[in-house]
Structure 1
Amino acid sequence: MAEPARVPRQHRPARLRMAALALIPAWIVVIAAYIGTMVWTMVISFTSSKLLPVYNFVGLEQYTRLFASDRWQVSVWHLLVFGVLFIVICLVVGFLLAVALDQKVRFENTFRTIFLYPYAMSFIVTGLIWQWLMNPTLGIQNTMRGLGWESFTFDWAVNSRLAVFALVIAAIWQASGLVMALMLAGLRGVDSELWKAAKIDRIPTWRVYVSIILPILTPTITTATVLLSIAVIKVYDLVVALTNGGPGTSSEMPAKFVMDNLGTRQNIGLATAASTVMLITVICVISPWLYQTYFRRQSRRPA
């Protein structure tokens, strides 16, 4: 095959300038729509805004009210419980599914599609599906009792002690397919010579996965963890569709706290303070990954 034509060195600066000019509209959108709105949100969080934004600055008063709010504290606790269970179980389930599919099973493409299909749905659809499944009068509980198992209960979505775990189940069902796809891609990139060497040395399969494969998959695991963490912080539509934050506040989440104060409670200042805290949390989650993925790699490149 003929090699692609190379651009002469003297023409490269001109091409780079043209590319930079072509990106100007995109940069304007990024600066105005993303960075601009983030800065505006932070500014409003230091004001006494209620129904409409005003620029009566009150310092950290909204943040003081926020962290003193019982509802906010409950929502943060629920987020921690939901986040830890969701991320850990998704990683484990996704890895196990990837290992199973990596054994060259029959109908691999079919299974892969089935496992990944829930991720193609929105969280609203996922929430509605699991709301029906966990409905005591319509879902799994009613079906099992109709089959004669009268003591069977599966009413987690309306049980104040189990509502958060209902969100965990629904979220895992949707997102574990994404983790499976990422892990499977990582497993397919492992050198087959490693497996041959392990068989020659008679190393148990589980030990190969724990001591060799998982360290190799560290970048993939990190990427999956970051994606899942961002989904945890901004979870809103699943909560609204499945439990609506209830019963009571038993499944309240920070994102719903923000939207409720923006809308029904008409307290923009408090809502923007909460969203600013969430933004800082996202930055704290993403920063180590960005450093590891981009800046540290660039610093290792030879000059």
Structure 2
Amino acid sequence: MKTLENILPKLVIAPGFVLGFAFIYGFMIWNGILSVTGSRMLPNYEEFVGLEQYVRLWEMDRWYIALKNLGIFSVLYVGGSMILGMALAIFLDQKIRAEGVLRTIYLYPMALSFIVTGTAWKWILNPSLGLEKLAHDFGWTSFSFDWLVQSETAIYCVVIAGIWQSAGFAMALSLAGLRGIDDSIIKAAQIDGASLPRIYWRIILPILRPVVFSTVLVLSHLSIKSFDLVMALTSGGPGYASDVPATFMYVMSFTRGQIGLGAASATMMLMFVAALVVPYLYSELRTKPHDR
């Protein structure tokens, strides 16, 4: 009977584990295989080309634009979300009235999908529908906000929408970390004459380092997978001015009929994610001297 009790949970979990392993890691391996073939409209496993697709990828100006946009988006999106989220968390940590209502309002955008966020902000930033038209209707005819249709500024519209959605997530994690800090630490620092900003900068933020690091890791991961937000908001345009690697992969694989090239770009995206996740897992899971 005890043997059955020990085996039954494993039997229940096994199908999901096997399917998850097959669909996640199996498709990763399949994508890697496609990236070294000359596949175009359909997979062609007989035409082995080695690293030719990767060479083509790194020779394309569009790929470099996508990487540049990913860098701009990631830095501003992660940094903006962290700064705004931390500021909101500190504000709510002052035991203000209606804290629950404000916390819900700030966190609500995170409940939306990036598709909804992108569509909503596409309406808001559209010069003929959103902020610019509203300002003109109120008589401010000189007001202009056409970032969405300008090649140089379209990616920053994606940043604005991304920060709006994810700042609440950063706020929630930061607030949870703040609430876990003993108030006696703050009171002791105040008795020593430290001002509140100095307390947060020199004491609270260093204590929150694990929370900050985890939040940055999650947001960085989301920034690499920003396909749905970009497609809903700009579709990679004007032209391909706001392309990111995820949209580049989609266009090459399903619009241009270059499956092998798209698979190569997807493999590069996997490497970008691994570069973020693997060091974190190593630092968290490695055996420390005092744990032995």
TM-score by length of 2: 0.95
Runs of 4+ in 1 over 3 A off after TM superposition: 11-22, 299-303
Contact 1:258 1:272 in 2 (8 A): yes
Amino acid aligned to 1:279: L
Contact kept? 1:82, 1:164, Cα under 8 Å: yes
> C-alpha separation between the residues in 2 aligned to 1:129 and 1:255?
21
Q: Tell me the secondary structure at the aligned position of residue 291 of structure 2.
A: coil
Q: Of 130, 135, 149, which residue of structure 1 is paired with 2:126?
A: 135
Shift in CA distance, 141/86, structure 1 to aligned 2, threshold 3 Å: same
User: 2:12 matched to which residue of 1?
Assistant: 22
1:302 maps to which residue?
291
> What residue is the counterpart of 2:172 in the other structure?
181
Counterpart in 2 of 1:6? Answer: none
| 2:27 pairs with one of 17, 37, 43 | 37
Query: How far off its partner does 1:199 sit?
Result: 1.2
Deviation of 1:156 (Å): 1.2
* 2:231 is equivalent to residue 240 of structure 1: yes
Q: Secondary structure at the residue paired with 2:127?
A: coil
Structure 2 unaligned residues grouped into runs of 5+: none
TM superposition shift of 1:16: 4.9
2:75 is equivalent to residue 84 of structure 1: yes
Q: How does 1:278-297 map to 2 (within 5 A)?
A: 278-296=269-287
How far apart are 1:202 and its partner, in Å? 1.1
CA displacement 1:180-202 (0-9 Å, x = unmatched) = 00000000000111011011101
Q: Corresponding residue for 2:49?
A: 58
Please state if 1:154 is matched with 2:136. no
> 1:78-103: CA deviations, max 9, x gaps?
10011101111111000000000000
Cα contact 1:258–1:275 (8 A) shared by 2: yes
1:119 and 2:119 correspond: no
- Which deviations, in whole Å up to 9, do the C-alpha atoms of 1:199-240 show, x marking residues without a partner? 110111111111111111111111111111111111111111
Residue identity in the other structure for 1:173? W
- The aligned residue for residue 274 of structure 1 is 265
Residue 148 of structure 1: how far off its partner (Å): 1.9
13-22 vs 242-251, which deviates more?
13-22
Partner of 1:100: 91
1:51 alignment partner, SS class: coil
Instruction: Return the alpha-carbon distance in structure 2 between the equivalents of residues 168 and 69 of structure 1.
Output: 24
For residue 110 of structure 1, what is the amino acid of its counterpart?
V
CA RMSD across the alignment = 1.6
Distance 1:42 1:98 in 2: 42
Match of 2:204 in 1: 213
Kindly provide the amino acid, as one letter, of the partner of residue 194 in structure 2: I
Do 1:85 and 1:168's aligned partners in 2 also have CA atoms closer than 8 Å? yes
Question: TM-score of the superposition, structure 1-length normalised?
Answer: 0.92
Share of identical aligned residues, percent? 44
Query: Can you give the 5+ residue segments of structure 1 that lack an aligned partner in the other structure?
Result: 1-10
Q: CA deviation at 1:13?
A: 8.1
**Whole-angstrom distance in 2 between the partners of 1:12 and 1:212:** 51
**1:86 & 1:12 partners in 2: Cα distance?**
52
Deviates more, 1:154-163 or 1:34-43: 154-163
Q: How far does the alpha carbon of each residue in 1:135-157 deviate from its partner, in whole angstroms, 9 at most, with x for none?
A: 11111111112212222111211
Asked if the contact 1:76/1:254 (under 8 Å) is kept, the reply is yes
Q: Which amino acid aligns with 2:286?
A: F
Output the CA distance in 1 between the equivalents of 2:18 and 2:245: 30
The reply on whether 1:74 has 2:82 as its aligned counterpart is no
